[in-house]
Structure 1
């Protein structure tokens, strides 16, 4: 089964360098790292850098590969500041499945945002108490254990 990891902005796929080996040590073999346009991959002609452009890019990438199991797509809120009213609501066409990573010491995302997102989407959370924005570097083993526990 394919596991897809997509980083946020302004990172590159290097952000997963400590996390992927933890997954592999736990038997996860088919890991694909995707880098959004301008953040580790070329910017396509006509790409405007909007939320919709990034969504369409990600949908296109996922459709071009063996479709990953949506339950294996972790969701981590990576947005600084409060959500804009209605922002992103058109990005979810059906009930999502996934896991919200709640890094309680994240200096860039209010921890309440993780809980709000989980509640709005009906998703469980993995609380990484005392850990920050770069949990995949700070606590890769704990995050991998939590993700595998979620996958069952």
Structure 2
């Protein structure tokens, strides 16, 4: 019954390193999304449903000993939302900071809208891939990344950029499309709500969590990269949730 961690965009699985080091379990698996530090499988479509189908297959394979504890951040958290909406039988529990993606009232942030705009998105990501690591991280720090954090956030390349564009352009109406199935999820859920997340508004987060029947834990003072800002607190939140699950 492993704990399975799913990173977001533009990130890689190394994002979870500091948090994993503080968890009281040795069965943690950090998945690496196709195109994000790993090749694309043959025929893979980097759409929101393509990634959701990939995650469902990966979790089913990992769950050979029983349902998993699934955790997702950012787009990884959105994919968790979709998986538990359609296949709650694959998980013992789930946790996400991106429940907002299944709220019909959710509106995309400015950067997502730029990615979704033909020509503009290509130009923006092309410019991002040519930045030095220091300049690239400086841009993320302007969005709330902790000053000393680099884990899983320096791997942007042309393949990842193409996947990002395809993913965001498949998800223009994600809230309306995913909300109907994200209701009364039949597995215990934890929705993490960082108070200063610039991309995922708390109102959308709480509204979606209520429809899904999930518990909400607010992280006062925390931003989008809460697992890097305070890995010990992040690990404690997850550990407390897991410790409270039925045996």
Q: Is the Cα contact below 8 Å between 1:96 and 1:121 reproduced in 2?
A: no
Q: TM-score, normalization: structure 2?
A: 0.54
Q: Is the Cα contact below 8 Å between 2:194 and 2:221 reproduced in 1?
A: yes
Q: Which has the higher helix share?
A: 2
| CA distance 1:87–1:147, shift in 2 (3 Å) | same
In 2, Cα distance between equivalents of 1:102 and 1:129: 9
Which of 91, 96, 119 aligns to 1:75? It is: 96
**Alignment correspondent of 2:29:** 32
Q: Is the Cα contact below 8 Å between 2:100 and 2:205 reproduced in 1?
A: no
**Alignment correspondent of 2:232:** 141
| CA distance 1:30–1:99, shift in 2 (3 Å) | same
**Secondary structure, aligned partner of 1:18:** helix
**Alignment correspondent of 2:178:** 88
**Alignment correspondent of 1:16:** 16
Structure 1 stretches lacking a partner, 5+ long? none
Deviation per residue, 1:76-114 (Å, 9 max, x gap): 218786273522247659534321110010112212222
Q: Is the Cα contact below 8 Å between 2:194 and 2:224 reproduced in 1?
A: yes
| Higher alpha-carbon Rg | 2
CA RMSD in angstroms, aligned pairs only:
2.3
Instruction: Tell whether 2:61 aligns with 1:45.
Output: no
- Give runs of ≥4 in structure 1 deviating > 3 Å: 78-81, 89-94
Q: Is the Cα contact below 8 Å between 2:4 and 2:31 reproduced in 1?
A: yes
Structure 2 stretches lacking a partner, 5+ long? 70-90, 109-172
**Alignment correspondent of 1:56:** 53
**Alignment correspondent of 2:7:** 7
Q: Is the Cα contact below 8 Å between 2:99 and 2:191 reproduced in 1?
A: no
| CA distance 1:96–1:10, shift in 2 (3 Å) | farther
In 2, Cα distance between equivalents of 1:57 and 1:90: 21
| CA distance 1:46–1:91, shift in 2 (3 Å) | farther
Which of 200, 213, 225 aligns to 1:122? It is: 213
What displacement does 1:71 show? Answer: 3.8
In 1, Cα distance between equivalents of 2:20 and 2:198: 24
**Alignment correspondent of 2:150:** none
